[in-house]
Structure 1
Amino acid sequence: MRLPTATALLCLVPSLALAGADSRCRASRFSAQEMKGASAQQRHAAYVQACALDEVVELTKQLVRFKTVSSEAPPAKSPDIAAMGRFLQKWAKAHGMAYRVVGDNDVFEIAWGEGAPTLGLVFHGDVVPAPVHEWKRPPFEPYVQEGRLFGRGVEDDKGPLASALVALDHARRLGLKPQGKVLVIVGNGEESDWNGMAKYAATEPKPTHVISVDSGYPVVAAQSGFVAWNLVAPMGPALKSSKVALRPVDVKAGEFLTQVPGTATLKLLPGDEGSLSVALETVRSAVTEEQRVRPGLKADVKEEGGAVVLTVHGKAVHASIADEGNNALWGLSGVAARLLMEDNGIAAMLRVLATRFDRDHHGEKLGLVYSDGGLMGTLIVSPTVLRVADGKVSLGVNMRRPQGKDAAAFNASLDHAAERVGQDSGGRVKEGGGRYVGDAHVADTSGPLVTTLLDIYKRHKNVPDAKATSVRGGTYARLFPKAVDFGPGFPGEEYTGHAPDESISLESLDLGTRMLAEAIHTLALTPAPVSAKEK
């Protein structure tokens, strides 16, 4: 028989509804003497539900005020990261927990309990940049408005960090003790350089269970492998072409390997016997023709310094969700395929884009496509950065690969894809350096960590058919064997972690804190759950 819920147990606390804020949240009101018949876990849950949110909001605000933008200053040189570390050190001491710094401010670790680590809770203390002009109010001056907490880092990842610290402290105040040690592990380079946390994960004792709170619910049990691939071609000299052909002189798309480009631009000069006006009309006609087979194509053509500039507009999204955006390189290559151009390196690369990438999210045209058939889905392939520099044209390609094919087999597939590209371009386009093929990270979906967290989510959200999920992005969880992500994003809610006016609803912050508190209690304060395999 299921015991009473935390909400029902609140009724067992004498005069709770009539108490003032301070007396209402005295730990003694949630003691075994006051809540007769309630288990330690139920008392902890009732305490967190009644009293944690205000503390979580206030602690999150304090953390957000530290401008910990790691891309502007690495941990070793960031005064704000150092200041946040001193703040966490004081917090830990005031709340009966140990604190240490690993590396040169690379990782902050707060520990509660003694012995071998049983539970690791992983977060990051750094944040992405927050250009002030994009925000309605200063990004590092957090505030609450209309039921939401605003500020850079409230969702990614300082709000979740505050939830963990408050949930742990509520258990400590009740006199509860963990079986082994609970670690709160705060990396400070997640948005820039993972080396510090990678070294920590490789060299420090491994907790029995590791939970990162930096992705979504119900439970993120798998992350795609990250792949970087680069194609290059020499700019010239141009192969033999018609004298009236357009001469491509520059091309540009994308800013980051991990972002699908929202715009792509091609610069063309009239041929030796052509005029600028004819060149403009030729390119505009090609756009019109392409729009007949690509109705959503948005492009503009203009004259600039004696050249024709074609700009194609798409929708920029993170490369991990490329199929939710609109790659501007696809449209650019489609229009270019309709133009008679001198066959230099730019023209060759655009042909490769049209032949092997256009309207193909999964690498079918490259011969790369595969799927794990279940949890992780199908390979994602995104050409993202196109540039001309140092006499070469380069195309950066980002892929997110599922389990189901080992690194050796996938590398062999890339070798074959490079051969195809070379054949398409008459040997002009070849693979460049810097190939990187990462492996997928997959947890044990039937093990005690995933099943425990799924059970918690199902009950709190009343979603009995919830299942473990995967993401194509990456969090620190992938650095720890069998680690998972548990929050903070709920299905159906907009994620604002990297956006202007980042915010999180107080309702979500509260529920996330309560679910994390139950996870802490189940996995670290009571005997470890046993999986069916271990019975």
Structure 2
Amino acid sequence: MNATISETEMDQAIQSLSSIVSFPSFGTEATDHAPFGEHDLDALKAMLHICETLGFTTYLDPDGYYGYADIGTGDKLLGVICHMDVVPAGNLSDWQTDPFKLTIKDGVLYGRGVQDDKGPTIAALYALKHAMDAGLKLRHQIRFIFETDEETLWRGINKYVKEQRTVDFGIAPDADFPVTYAEKALLQARIIGPGSEDLNIDLQNPFNAVPGAAEYSGPKQGEVKAALQKLNFTFTENDQSITVAGQSVHSMEAPKGTNAVVRLAMALSQVFDAPMLQFIDKGLGQDAYAANVLGDISDTVSGRLTFNLASLTVNKQTSSADIDLRIPVTVDKQAVVDKLSSTLAKFGLTYQQFDYLNPQYVKTDSPLVKTLMAAYQQVTGDKNAEPLVTGGATLARVMPNCVAFGGMLPSVKSYMHQVNEQWQIADMKTTMQIYVAAFTALNSIE
């Protein structure tokens, strides 16, 4: 089958992408039948309308959590699991273009969602249309599933899983090529302990980000400064506060970052008496693998466990710390929790689970992974590519026998969640050609 995408097909795909980028679907106040805000629901409805114009039959959850579009018949169901929500644009003055108006400049698409995940969704959809127009006779039913809460709590896809048919195999076009066959378990938890009479600090950060800065403001600034200097930690100061510098990265890559909250806590432990600070200083330290706390936990499939302490609160009444663990795919979660709880108890602290996502692991010799790898290599000629492992989380993990597959080429710089999110049209076209090859090959899986 000819996988070459014509200019007319590219224009149609970009026009559809423009339509759904126009919705600022980053989650706002809930209304009737719009649990994540009207813009999220409008984006979902627009996506379903696009699918209907391409010959799909569609379904909209009456409560507004999700939708899906079906085409083809057959006993098996191939899923393409996507999301229509995005992260907020942030400071609009930092953008070169309107983030919610698709703009083309010098062959590059600009707009919130062009990489994550509206662009890859459209690429996959129009790739399937190309394959069918070129004569592909579908042997399986294909379902595009549209989540509207992926960037927060996955409430849309979780409702889908409870109410609808599970796919037999599938892809999530929300990562990198060639194919991600293993995703570590994601455990987010809170450590609770007693407070401190002399310290009042509240450092709040997302679970999934290594803190890049941490500020102390209080009467013992001179002593804290001396402790930081003794530890040789970088900081800035003024008359009111001290700010410890770190290097922010995503939690899944915690060892590549420098945790400013941990560094400040280690200095504070030299000045204030608080079990939470002692745990961070003497127990955890700056080891983003948490070997002193948990032992060296790893497996041959997905590597080492990573540990990020994201937030820290200490006051007279209590103390708490938010932590994010990425657990290797074959490691027992409860064993990790038991070991963590045992270590915390030695410091007078307790463990409280906040959220957990099961790991995903589809073996590299499975028909699904082998087929997708072959499709990627067929189009790109990249014979040296190897299947990927990630500490990140994609919607592929919500159902068995699903993997993340594209839509970003290895050479593409990530602008996901960043200002000036962008995607070169040439790269989008290559991604579509890979999806054409993939849908064609997956059609033959028994």
TM norm. shorter chain > 0.5? yes
Note closer, same or farther for the CA distance 1:493–1:354 as it changes in structure 2 (3 Å cut).
farther
Conserved 8 A contact 2:195-2:317: yes
1:388 to 304, 314, 326: 314
SS of 1:96 mapped into structure 2: coil
Q: Which residue of 2 aligns with 1:91?
A: 50
**How far 1:164 moved relative to its partner?**
1.8
Matched, 1:299 2:235: yes
8 Å contact 2:78–2:143 — kept in the other structure?
Answer: yes
User: In structure 1, how many angstroms separate the alpha carbons of the residues matched to 2:440 and 2:243?
Assistant: 56
**1:147 aligned to 2:94?**
no
Matches within 5 A, 1:456-471: 456-471=375-390
Partners of 2:182 and 2:62 in 1: CA distance: 28
Change (3 A) 1:125 1:390: farther
How far does residue 415 in structure 1 lie from its aligned partner after superposition?
A: 2.4
Q: Map 1:106-505; keep pairs closer than 5 Å.
A: 106-131=65-90, 132-237=92-197, 248-270=198-220, 280=222, 282-291=223-232, 297-304=233-240, 309-337=241-269, 339=270, 341-343=271-273, 345=274, 348-373=275-300, 375-388=301-314, 391-420=317-346, 422=347, 427=348, 430-434=349-353, 436-505=355-424
Q: Which of 88-97 and 121-130 deviates more?
A: 88-97
Unaligned runs of 5+ in 2: none
Instruction: Kindly state the Cα deviation for residue 127 of structure 1 after the two structures are TM-superposed.
Output: 0.6
- Quote the Cα distance in structure 1 between the aligned partners of 2:393 and 2:116: 13
TM-aligned CA deviation for residue 233 of structure 1: 2.4
Question: Displaced runs of 4+ in structure 1, greater than 6 A?
Answer: none
- The yes-or-no answer on 1:53 pairing with 2:13 is no
Deviation at 1:67, TM superposition (A): 1.5
2:107 alignment partner AA: G
Shift of 1:51: 4.5
**Residue 489 of structure 1, CA deviation:** 2.2
Following TM superposition, by how much is the alpha carbon of 1:457 offset from its aligned partner in structure 2, in angstroms? 1.6
Deviation at 1:342, TM superposition (A): 4.4
Supply the distance in 1 between the matched residues of 2:410 and 2:255 (Cα, whole angstroms). Answer: 18
Assess, with a 3 A threshold, how the Cα gap between structure 1 residues 390 and 83 changes in structure 2: closer, same or farther.
farther
Q: C-alpha separation between the residues in 1 aligned to 2:305 and 2:370?
A: 27
Match of 2:200, SS state, is: strand
Query: For residue 152 of structure 2, what is the amino acid of its counterpart?
Result: S
Change over 3 Å in CA distance of 1:495–1:137 after alignment to 2: same
CA contact 1:71–1:129 (8 Å) conserved in 2: no
User: What do the CA deviations read for 1:154-207 (whole angstroms, capped 9, x no partner)?
Assistant: 010111111122122223334543113111111111012312211312442233
Residue identity opposite 2:247 in structure 1:
K
Map Cα deviations across residues 96-133 of structure 1 (whole Å, 9 max, x no partner).
22011125221121111124343111110011111223
- Matched with 1:70 is 27
Q: What letter matches 1:392 in structure 2? A: T
TM-score, normalising length from structure 2? 0.92
Question: How far apart, in 2, do the equivalents of 1:142 and 1:157 lie?
Answer: 14
Which AA in structure 2 matches 1:319? S
Change (3 A) 1:352 1:452: same
User: Could you tell me which residue of structure 2 aligns to residue 12 of structure 1?
Assistant: none
Bigger-Rg structure (1/2): 1
Q: CA RMSD in A?
A: 2.2
Identify if the C-alpha distance between structure 1 residues 252 and 311 changes in structure 2 by more than 3 Å, giving closer, same or farther.
farther
Partner amino acid, structure 2, of 1:301: E
Report if aligned partners of 1:254, 1:263 keep a CA contact under 8 Å in 2: no
Separation of aligned partners in 1, 2:57 and 2:7: 27
Go from structure 1 to structure 2 and tell me whether the alpha carbon gap of 1:177 and 1:72 turns closer, same or farther (over 3 Å shift).
Answer: farther
TM-score by length of 1: 0.78
CA distance 1:216–1:342, change in 2 (3 Å): closer
1:469 Cα offset (Å) = 0.9
CA spacing shift, 1:133–1:357, aligned 2, 3 Å:
farther
Contact 2:182 2:388 in 1 (8 A): yes
Quick one: structure 1 residues 193 and 436, their matched pair in 2 at CA, closer, same or farther if it must change by over 3 Å? closer
Q: Is the 8 A contact 1:71 1:192 kept in 2?
A: no
**What is the aligned partner in structure 2 of residue 274 from structure 1?**
none
Deviation of 1:403 (Å): 2.0
Say which SS state the counterpart of residue 218 (structure 1) adopts.
coil
Secondary structure in structure 1 of the residue aligned to 2:218: strand
- The one-letter code matched in structure 2 to 1:353 is I
How big is the shift at 1:389? Answer: 5.6
Structure 1 residues 415 and 437: alpha-carbon distance in aligned structure 2, compared to 1, 3 A threshold: farther
Q: Distance in 2 between matches of 1:63 and 1:266?
A: 43
Question: What's the CA shift string for 1:220-274, capped at 9, x where partnerless?
Answer: 011111112322222245xxxxxxxxxx42223342112111111233325xxxx
**CA 1:283–1:413: 2 relative to 1, 3 Å:** closer
CA distance in 1 between partners of 2:58 and 2:315 (Å)? 48
Q: CA deviation at 1:511?
A: 0.8
Q: Quote the Cα distance in structure 2 between the aligned partners of 1:457 and 1:335.
A: 50
Paired with 1:283 and 1:85, the residues of 2 have a C-alpha distance of 51
For the 8 Å contact 2:210–2:309, the answer to whether it is kept is: yes
Q: Write the letter of the residue equivalent to 1:146.
A: D
The whole-number CA distance in structure 1 between the counterparts of 2:263 and 2:94 is 29
Identity across the alignment (%): 24
Structure 1 residue 459 displacement after superposition: 2.7
Q: Distance in 2 between matches of 1:353 and 1:205?
A: 45
* Aligned residues between the structures: 443
Per-residue CA deviations over 1:505-528 (Å, capped at 9, x if unaligned) read 11211111110111111112xx32
Separation (CA, whole Å) in 2 of partners of 1:476 and 1:53: 26
Asked if 1 retains the 8 angstrom alpha-carbon contact of 2:375 and 2:441, the reply is: no
Distance 1:133 1:212, change over 3 A: same
Residues 473-482 or 384-393, more deviating: 384-393
Q: Which moved more, 1:282-291 or 1:251-260?
A: 282-291
Distance 1:207 1:435 in 2: 28
Cα deviation, residue 405, structure 1: 2.0
